[in-house]
Amino acid sequence: MSEQQVQTQVEVTDGQSKRPCENQSSLAQVVEAIAQFDLIDRFAAWFGHWWHRPFWKADRPLRVFLENLTWTGHVRFAIPRDGDTTGYEAEVFLRNHGVYVWGRFFDCENVYFNVKKEQASWAEYLLEREGITTANAPVDPRNQVWAEPYDKAPPGWGSNRRSHVDLIAGILRPDVIASMKYRPKAREWPAGSDRKRGRRKPTTTTRRRRRTRKQQTTVQRLARQAGQRMNRRRPRRPRRPTRPGNHRQK
């Protein structure tokens, strides 16, 4: 082996052993070390499996339940931090196309997030069409071939679904907690005002119930009147004549 080949091999070996993490400052390494102990993100990642893949709505609930329990029902995507697109922009892009993302995490090289495996191939196809570079293993190699004829992804239609983190944060808002303690007083109508103004139109069930109650009242009233007429027409029984010896003589 010549000296030039040995030198080239050493350079390649040194390049493989050299990581971008080693070039970071001490402050960045401390921040990333602290991020490893972020329990909120870990809880959100665990809860996101059950939120985005509800086993009680699946065709095979037992299979989905076991996949959620063993953390095998999702695909983790990796977006390079030194790329043209940030991890947040990739998340917003996927969410606008109906792909739900959870379990965000980062290190010195990539930004990671989870996508359920039912949408993993669709998410990879969208990222390929948009030109967003990924550092994870390919989900379906055919997506790259299918995305080559296009230079841009289809327009997104948006997403109205709330994230589980937004739901928890909305419940813990101070104004929501304060509204639970406040009990408004009964509405007082000023004298001479129209109370029927602003009321909702009664539904069919309410009208039917009122009609039935009114009919029952009418039937009872007619029956009462008929009974009074019968009592009025009923002849009075003649009084039994008293015998002469039945009463006490003084």
**pLDDT, tens only, 5-25:** 434 443 333 444 445 565 566
**In the prediction, which pLDDT does 124 show?**
93
Residue 167 vs residue 209, higher pLDDT: 209
Predicted structure pTM score: 0.51
Cα dihedral 146, 151, 157, 158 sign: positive
Cα dihedral 88, 92, 95, 97 sign: negative
**In the prediction, which pLDDT does 72 show?**
82
Residue showing tokens 């990671």: 112
Residues 86-119 have pLDDT tens digits of 888 888 899 888 888 888 877 778 888 889 888 8
Helix, strand, coil % over all residues of the chain, rounded to 5? 50, 10, 40
